[in-house]
Amino acid sequence: MPGLVIGVDLGATNIRAALGNIESGILRRVEEKTVQSESPDDVIQQFIRLIRMVSANDLDKVRAIGIGSIGPLDCWRGVILNPPNVPFKNVHIVETLRDMFRVPVYLLNDCTTAALGEWVFGAGRGLKNLAYITLSSGIGGGVVVDGIPLIGKDGNAAEIGHMVIDFEERLACNCGGRGHREAYCSGSGIPKLAKYLIESRPDYFCGTLVEDLVGRGELTPKSLFELARRGDKGALKIIEEVGRLNAIGFANVNTLYDPELITVGGSIALNNLELVLKPIIANIGGYTANRAPKIIITPLGGDVVLYGAIALASNPPQTLAQGVR
């Protein structure tokens, strides 16, 4: 039996840890709400507690720890810098855990980690070129090109949510930039896009249910997709536009990285398969010169980052293992 490893998925809301290995994937898991504290020590203590809890009597068999984390981070120094939506910053997680457990510890951003999970345990097994895209409250990505997971100078090689898709810069992104895809197609962006579209074409949206919800400031991605399923003309129009912009985003990924497969995860995609995926598949060909890839929902569902963290600990990218930026 190959040695055991620990994988940790640090999100803004939940933190999950798993004990596993490259043959069996996840053997045991624990989950908690992510500690909402300004103190890096509190975050580190939560990591230590979860790692001890999930490894139980097998702690002495653990030979590495892999962490897929919300960014921004510096994966080479092993530091979680200052993620939005959580109070903590500058968490020196790699060095601390390495000193504590005396095993190698690797840190990558959550979407690059998810791409590793897909490659090792999911639909990307056996492929040399694949991408993973999450459509959630934010938009992120990870890619493997020619059998090499791309990392970049700080670990942000595929920050595809922040690609500019609107040179008129109409909507503002959570990162402070403008015109980024995340500002239009993510969970936090979709309501802003809906408001913009309704204001720019009031005649078309007049009297639709979606116009009413936006007017009351109550539109969420969930309610938008529900209205679309009920056939509301306005909601369907907005979903069509989200689909077209998503197709542009997926096309840009295809043009840059030329993947054979793009798998899609994140709550927006996982909860609205048809309405999200169909327009992407239908429209991607119009926006990319490269041969279109196969596009599917990740078979690993909400566990894709956790599987990736097991893969990262078991078989880290060579450059990361060597600490070569």
Where do contacts with Zn ion occur on this chain (CB under 5 A)?
Answer: 162, 173, 175, 177, 180
Nearer to Zn ion, 170 or 325 (CB): 170
Q: How far is the CB of 134 from Zn ion (least distance, A)?
A: 14
What does the alpha-carbon distance between residue 40 and residue 44 come to, in Å, rounded to a whole number?
6
Nearer to Zn ion, 112 or 208 (CB): 112
Nearer to Zn ion, 245 or 312 (CB): 245
Q: How far is the CB of 174 from Zn ion (least distance, A)?
A: 6
- Of residues 209, 269, 205, 220, the one with CA closest to residue 243: 269
Q: How far is the CB of 8 from Zn ion (least distance, A)?
A: 26
What does the alpha-carbon distance between residue 17 and residue 54 come to, in Å, rounded to a whole number?
7
Q: What are phi and psi of 149, to 5 degrees?
A: -70, 125
Nearer to Zn ion, 140 or 316 (CB): 140
Nearer to Zn ion, 131 or 171 (CB): 171
Nearer to Zn ion, 177 or 286 (CB): 177
Nearer to Zn ion, 165 or 295 (CB): 165
Q: How far is the CB of 213 from Zn ion (least distance, A)?
A: 25
For Zn ion, the nearest residue by Cβ is 173
Nearer to Zn ion, 124 or 140 (CB): 140
Q: How far is the CB of 162 from Zn ion (least distance, A)?
A: 4
Q: How far is the CB of 177 from Zn ion (least distance, A)?
A: 4
